[in-house]
Amino acid sequence: GESVGLHLPTLSVQEGDNSIINCAYSNSASDYFIWYKQESGKGPQFIIDIRSNMDKRQGQRVTVLLNKTVKHLSLQIAATQPGDSAVYFCAENDAGGTSYGKLTFGQGTILTVHP
Amino acid sequence: EAQVTQNPRYLITVTGKKLTVTCSQNMNHEYMSWYRQDPGLGLRQIYYSMNVEVTDKGDVPEGYKVSRKEKRNFPLILESPSPNQTSLYFCASSLAGSAETQYFGPGTRLLVL
């Protein structure tokens, strides 16, 4: 999961395993959440999003779960592949409030997939 | 090809020398934003713009200026750069008038000596 400090959380998995990346968000008013993937030397790339009126959303090989009670977000990647190795960021937005243009990112989790 | 472009990609400068990092998108997006990325701190939003002539501060706006005179361009201006502005900068844009589903540029790595 996310943590404060200079050392990013890391997750190492074997190719073919399922991966779960966690994120704790801070703003109880946030009502829109996004997961981004960032490969080395590139900008973040959108993976999947979810609004606060949902608790689960599925994409291709990815599922995002939202638990508003404990302000927790997770990204599940099925059948993880070496190409999934990257840093994963969650981001939160108060889309219904006055700051709907602001996006706050977590510090990221490093996913390493071993062949 | 739909994309967000930034220039320059790499820049070394000295303290106090004004610089501008350009950002341009060809997707007719209303929303644009600037972020800086530092080790262990993730991405932090500097400024964002909901539309032409509409800009707002993000979480770390100090020492930066932006302008949005036309929809496709959103330059980031450092009037008097300081070493603590050494960072990796990303521009992003979104079709919706908010922070949703942003497309990021390739990044600009800035070193201020």
Asked if the C-beta of B1 comes within 8 angstroms of chain A's C-beta atoms, the answer is: no
pLDDT value at residue A29:
85
pLDDT value at residue B69:
97
Strands A56-58 and A62-67: antiparallel
Backbone φ, ψ for residue A83 (5° rounding): -70, -10
Residue of B nearest to A95 (CA): B98
Cα–Cα dist A73/A69, whole Å:
11
- In contact, B94 and B103? CB cutoff 8 Å: yes
Cα dihedral across residues A24, A29, A35, A41: positive or negative: negative
pLDDT value at residue A37:
96
B70 Cα to chain A: minimum distance (Å): 18
User: Among all chains, which residue has been given the structure tokens 């997707």?
Assistant: B27
Task: State whether A100 and B99 contact (CB < 8 Å).
Answer: yes
To test the contact with chain A by mutation, choose from B3, B43, B91 the residue with the greatest count of A C-beta atoms within 10 A, namely B43
Radius of gyration of chain B (CA): 13
pLDDT tens figures, B67-103: 999 999 999 999 999 999 999 999 999 876 555 778 8
Separation of CA B6 from chain center: 9
pLDDT value at residue B97:
58
- In contact, B105 and B23? CB cutoff 8 Å: yes
Instruction: Output the average pLDDT for chain B.
Output: 93
To test the contact with chain A by mutation, choose from B27, B100, B101, B108 the residue with the greatest count of A C-beta atoms within 10 A, namely B100
> Number of helices (H) and strands (E), helices first, in chain B?
0, 11
Structure tokens at B57: 């501060």
Asked if the C-beta of B44 comes within 8 angstroms of chain A's C-beta atoms, the answer is: yes
Q: Which residue in the set B42, B56, B58 is minimally distant from A106, CB to CB?
A: B42
pLDDT value at residue B111:
98
State the alpha helices, DSSP H only, in A33-113: none
Residue of B nearest to A43 (CA): B106
Nearest CA to B103 out of B45, B51, B27, B17 is that of B27
pLDDT (average), residues B13-35? 95
Nearest CA to B46 out of B78, B83, B24 is that of B78
- Tens digits of pLDDT across chain A (115 residues): 343 345 689 999 999 999 999 999 988 888 889 999 999 989 999 999 999 999 999 999 999 999 999 999 999 999 999 999 999 999 998 766 656 678 889 889 999 999 9
Residue B38 has pLDDT above 60, yes or no: yes
User: Looking at this protein, which amino acid is placed at residue A101?
Assistant: G
Structure tokens at B38: 């530092």
User: Looking at this protein, which amino acid is placed at residue B79?
Assistant: E
Task: State whether B102 and A103 contact (CB < 8 Å).
Answer: yes
Cα–Cα dist B84/A16, whole Å:
42
